[in-house]
Amino acid sequence: MGKVVLANDHGAVELANIIREHLEKRGFSVHHLGVVSHDSVDYPDMAAAACTEFLKGGYDFGVVCCGTGIGISISANKFDKILCALPQNVFAASMAKMHNNANFLAFGGRIDYQEPVTAMLDAFIDNKFEGGRHATRVNKMKALGCKSC
């Protein structure tokens, strides 16, 4: 299969292990940059590590995790060419790929999801970007940038 970069902070150690194991069972090679202990680290640093590694090339997608998934997804989306989605269910994970062409997913280790994160990963992996009118919208998202910085 392909290659995935994975990074997490101290708020998602267990979830990152579940994700890594699931992706490996699906045949992916996982480059895990995250932490394995609950010692505090800053989620922007973990997002930066994952995005920097991803942008070197050779990865199918990335996964980043923190306590809620919010801070690390915001941080990942600061990087040019990264489109990080924060799905809350299987439908949203599917749409992240099909309509938004996301190349990163974010999850929260302290979130009680209604559906398993592994099912959301599968939905993302098993779908393809539909292009067409969605490509126009994705290009508009990418072009937004910082207009007032």
pLDDT tens digits, residue range 15-68? 999 999 999 999 999 999 989 999 999 999 999 999 999 999 999 999 999 999
Where are the chain's structural domains? Answer: 3-144
134 is catalytic: no
- pLDDT tens digits for 72-126? 999 999 999 999 999 999 999 999 999 999 999 999 999 999 999 999 999 999 9
Q: Contact at 8 Å (CB) between 117 and 106?
A: no
Where residue 148 falls among pLDDT bands split at 50, 70, 90? Answer: low
Chosen CATH of 3-144 out of 3.30.70.2190, 3.40.1400.10, 3.90.230.10, 2.60.60.20: 3.40.1400.10
Would you place residue 146 in the very low, low, confident or very high pLDDT band (cuts 50, 70, 90)?
low
What is the structure's pLDDT at 111? 98
User: pTM of the predicted model, to two decimals?
Assistant: 0.93
More confident residue, 136 or 56: 56
Nearest residue to 51 via CA among 107, 16, 109, 103: 103
What local confidence, expressed as pLDDT, does residue 93 receive? 98
Q: Encode pLDDT of 63-84 as tens digits.
A: 999 999 999 999 999 999 999 9
Q: How far is residue 97's CA from residue 145's CA, in Å, rounded to a whole number?
A: 21
Question: Could you give the dihedral angle defined by the CA atoms of residues 140, 92, 13 and 77, in that order, rounded to the nearest 10 degrees?
Answer: 10
Residue identified by tokens 């539909």 is 130
Residue 14 in this model has a pLDDT that exceeds 90: yes
| pLDDT at residue 141, rounded to an integer | 78
